[in-house]
Structures are given as C-alpha cells and as structure tokens.
Amino acid sequence: MTQGKTGQAEALAQSAADAFVQTSAMPSYSRAQILAKIAAAIESKSEAFARLITEEVRKPIKESRREVARAVFTFKWASEEAKRFGGELLPLDLDEASRGRQALTRRAPSGPALFITPFNFPLNLVAHKVAPAVAVGAPFVLKPAPHAPKTAAKLVDIIIGAGWPKDAAGLAVVDNEDAEALARDERFSVLSFTGSAKVGWHLKSCAGKKRVLLELGGNAAVYVDAGADVAWAAARCAWGAFYYSGQVCISVQRIYAEESIYDKFKDLLLQNTAELKLGDPADEKIDVGPLISEDAAKRVEDWISEAAAGGGKILCGGKRRGDVIEPTIVENAPASCRLSCEEAFGPVAVLEKVETKIHALDKLCEGRYGLQAGIFTNDLAFVFEAWQRVPVGGLVVNDIPAFRSDAMPYGGIRDSGTGREGVRYAMEEMTELRTLVLKP
C-alpha cells in the first residue's frame, strides 16, 4: 500500500497495526515461502533492478548488479532463517522449589515496524530490514530515501505479489516532518533507521517506548603492519576507499601503515588508485562516478581544502568537477580536521605512518564512531588484542572494514548506533522473548 501525501502517515500506521493480527499468526513455512518467492522475483528482474538503482542514485552499474545479487541472497537467507528461528527447552529442577518444572522459550514479533532507509543501498539496505520483518511475521512501513522511491516501490510490489498482505507492506514516500510523526507513533513497536548520526539520535529521542535500531555510519580505519601482504592491503584499501565514490558507511577513510613498509604501501596504494576509472555510472568499466549531488561534492571539496590548509599533503586527486570528486588521498591530515574525525561520505582517505602496533591501536581507537575497522596482519596475538581494545562493532582481519557478509551481525557502538542487522540478528531485534513454565 502506497501513501505518498502529507498527512497520510496516520493511515499507514493504522494499516500496519491492523495487519499485525494476520502476519503474527502466519506459520513459519508460509513466511519462508514468501521470502523465497521474493528472492526469485528479484533475481528474475536483476538487470532491471540494477539499472534502476544506477538511474536513481548514480551508482556504477557493476556495483548496482552486486547490490542486487546481495539482496537476492538476503531474502534467500531470511527464508532459511524463518524455518529455524525457534526457542529452547530449559530444565528448571535446579533446586527443591523448582523440582519437576521445565520452561519453554519462543520469540514473538514485537509489533509493527517502521523502517527508514538511505540512498546509498536503496535495495539491499531495505532488504536488511524488510526480510527479517517478513521472517518473523511483523508488518512494516518503509520510508525510503527521497532519491530512491522507485527502487523501494518496485520491491514492495514484489513483496505483495509474493503473498505478503498488502496492508502489511506500507510505503511512505513522505517528507521529514511526516517521517518524524511516524517515528513518534505508538502503534509501531520497532524503529530501524539507517542514516546520519544527527538524524538517527534525534529520531531515537522521539521514539518513546519502541525498540530502536540505529546504523549511523562511521569513520572507518585500517592498519597495515610490517608482516602483512602489502600488495593485497594496498589494492583492497584503494577499492574500499573509492568504490561508489566513498558513499558507504564503512568506506575506508583512515589508513595507517607501519613505518618499515610505509613507503612501499603508499606507492602501491597510489598505483591502485590511479587505475580506477571515473565517468558515467552507466558505463560498464567505471569504478568511480558522481556523488549523489553537487552540494555533497562541494562539502567534500571543502573538507579536503580544510585538511590541506592544516598541513595535510594531497597525494592524489583533490579536485572537483561539478558533482564529481577525484579519488583523493591526503597524507598527514591534522587530527582535528573533519576528514580525520567525521564521516566524509565521499571519495577521500587520509594516510599516516605509525611507529608500532601499539601506536596503531591508539589510532584505531580514536574518534566518536565505532562501526567497523580493518587490520592487515599475521600476528594472531595482535588480532586478539585489537579485538579486545578497539571499540567497534566489527573487526575485519586481512581485509578492509568495507567487507560485510549479509549473514553476519552488523552494527556499531558509540555514535555509530545501537542494535544489530544481519538477518538472524535483526530478527532477534524485532522480536521479544516469551517463556512458558510447565509443571506436570
């Protein structure tokens, strides 16, 4: 059901509330079958979806195809999880007072869910909210990014066509005021938001008693130590910093390399960056296209200028042409500049030399964000020390923080958010635990 006019948020919320009785009673096999049909339908329309994503959000077509493939997997995985999402049997005969008693646990959907999604992954980030909701039997209202309403509408049509009740799949193409009204609406039991920290924490303050999941991006850091595969690390960092013009919340933004391999790593990083192709995102060969808007490009340009004015050295790029920013690497950017401590959301990374692993850990721990980080090393003791010390939701070893499996738990701490996505983990977030105590 689509409601796109101001003031109709009320109708969407009521439809979701009314649909909860039906969806929460759906058997597991029905939910699994619907999810499998959704996956198959997306797969059958994969090229159309990819071209629509490129049209709406200007993502390079090869990255759009990768996103569609991931969405297919997300719905397939949710279909499997729907069939095995159960509870447990607990013996309670642990003392005399509980003798003969047992407990059964199960998870039940908390209620209707509200999903607010960003432009950068207009299909798969929606899938990461919608697929778990269908898997547990929760009706939803989706508020997509203003840049990508067509992708969201196409997906919602497929979901309804697969057998999910029409009133349980609301599409709210509304302005920010109406989105906030939805976030305040007490008929929703869950709010899941992906976007900026400022907006996310504000919506959490409006959400009342809802369970709130926030994925708010970060300032992802990478460390390369002397024993790592330097060529692999350089190639991955170049891709991770600049694919989709850096408009990814786990894009590589801060890069630290150990002193003894720093010059070699820097040279390889610059070589890999120079090989990236800029241009029309509809071109099959393009790696880096425009940003979502010229205003976004101007902001990134301003941040680069700030870093250079503070003593940072621009090793490559740094120039803007309309809404395109060249892939940019800034060496020794000031710690206080925005490129070093905020989320750039553009094709730019800072590079710095560190003396030891201990210094590297200190650098990885800096800042107010905590989504994901990456370390390239073969030192297992260092891996476990970093896992203990670095305050991030996910630590990726021998790859970049931009790595994400759609099955793994994903989310941040500190200003990067709260709660976890990843199909099964999101299903847990959207449900509540219920216990049944039995006495013969």
Which residues are known catalytic residues? 215, 249
**Do residues 232 and 376 touch, judged by C-beta distance below 8 A?**
yes
Cα separation, 101 vs 99, in Å, equals 6
Cα separation, 360 vs 393, in Å, equals 18
Which of these, 103, 118, 120, 88, lies nearest to 438 by C-alpha position? Answer: 103
DSSP state of 417: E
Residue 292: CA atoms inside 13 Å, Cβ hemisphere, count? 19
Cα separation, 137 vs 110, in Å, equals 9
- Number of Cβ within a 10 Å radius of residue 80: 16
**Do residues 170 and 160 touch, judged by C-beta distance below 8 A?**
no
Which of these, 219, 186, 213, lies nearest to 200 by C-alpha position? Answer: 213
Tokens found for residue 125: 């980030």
The residues, any chain, with a CB within 8 Å of residue 109's CB and separated by 6 or more, are 20, 23, 24, 136, 137, 138, 430, 431
Collapse the DSSP code of 303 into the 3-class scheme (helix H, G, I; strand E, B; otherwise coil) and give the result: helix
Q: How far is CA 231 from CA 175, 267, 332, in A?
A: 46, 10, 21
Tokens found for residue 325: 């920013």
